[in-house]
Amino acid sequence: MFAAIDRRFGTWRGAVRLGLAYGEVAGGIACDLRPEPEAVRRLVFVCHGNICRSAYAEALARRAGMETASFGLSTTTGRPAWPGTAEVAARRGLSLDGHAATDMRDFRARPGDYLLAMETRHLRRLSALSGLAHLPRGLLGAYAGVPHLHDPFGLDPAYMETCLTRIEEAVRALCRAFPNAAAAAS
How far apart are the C-alpha atoms of 134 and 2, rounded to whole Å? 40
Looking at the DSSP assignment, which residues form a beta bridge with residue 137? 33, 115
Tell me the average pLDDT across 23-48: 96
Q: What is the CATH number of domain 2-181?
A: 3.40.50.2300
Whether residue 13 is predicted with pLDDT greater than 90 in this model: the reply is yes
Q: How does the average pLDDT of the chain come out, rounded?
A: 95
How far apart are the C-alpha atoms of 33 and 83, rounded to whole Å? 33
Q: Quote the DSSP letter at residue 139.
A: E
**pLDDT score for 119:** 97
Rg from Cα positions in the chain: 15
Whether residue 65 is predicted with pLDDT greater than 90 in this model: the reply is yes
Question: Domain residues of the chain, as ranges?
Answer: 2-181
Whether residue 186 is predicted with pLDDT greater than 80 in this model: the reply is no
Cβ(75)–Cβ(49) under 8 Å?
yes
How far apart are the C-alpha atoms of 178 and 43, rounded to whole Å? 9
Whole-model pTM: value is: 0.95
**pLDDT score for 184:** 77
How far apart are the C-alpha atoms of 60 and 167, rounded to whole Å? 9
How far apart are the C-alpha atoms of 64 and 46, rounded to whole Å? 18
How far apart are the C-alpha atoms of 101 and 73, rounded to whole Å? 10
Whether residue 1 is predicted with pLDDT greater than 80 in this model: the reply is no
Residues noted as catalytic:
47, 53, 151
